[in-house]
Amino acid sequence: MSISSRFAVAIHILSLLGMNKDQVNTSEWIAGSVNTNPVVIRKITGYLKNAGLVHVRPGVAGASLARDLSEISLLDVYKAVQVVPENELFGIHDQPNPACTVGRNIQQAIEPLFATAQLALEKALGNVTIADVVSNILERERLRSN
């Protein structure tokens, strides 16, 4: 099973906001680019707002960036949209048998190992910003027109 595409959609949204700073980006308009329902966009935008990444206000059309794209890492977005429960990228089976040596120690033995792997993932996400994503998009667009 994969990590929710909500993460990818959030990146899509932020890229749009960065490229259309002078436009009014309504949830319906964004939904048209992402190809989903406006409510889905509003929900995700809500996560981004709570994380302080975008500005949105009830009744006022459009979302806008709260920070420069170069100051929003993929990790910021990843955490904002909560696609993975905090420190629980890897699920652990609960209630192993305490009467067994392995059973009564496995959870604590595994936990730090999983945490290390998770941190490696997060560090990689922290090394990239949405500005990088937009640069990449623009580069690809340039190549298309040739």
Partner DNA sequence: GTTACATGTAATATAATATGTTACAGGTTG
Partner DNA sequence: CAACCTGTAACATATTATATTACATGTAAC
Which CA distances in Å does 96 have to 20, 31, 102, 106, 113?
53, 45, 8, 8, 18
Q: Closest by alpha carbon to 46, among 36, 58, 37?
A: 58
Q: Closest by alpha carbon to 64, among 18, 9, 4?
A: 18
Can residue 37 be called a binding residue for a copy of itself (CB under 8 A)?
no
Contact between 7 and 81 (Cβ < 8 Å): yes
CB of 107 to DNA, least distance (A): 14
Can residue 103 be called a binding residue for a copy of itself (CB under 8 A)?
yes
| Binder of residue 56, out of DNA, a copy of itself, none (CB less than 5 to 8 A by kind) | DNA
* Greatest extent of the chain over all pairs of C-alpha atoms, in Å: 68
> What residue ranges bind DNA (CB under 7 A)?
1, 4-6, 26-28, 36-40, 42-43, 45-46, 49, 56-63, 83, 91, 93
- Chain residues binding a copy of itself by CB under 8 A are 1-5, 7-9, 11-12, 15-16, 19, 32-36, 74, 83-85, 88-93, 95-97, 100-103, 105-106, 108-110, 113, 116-121, 123-125, 128, 132-133, 136-138, 140-141
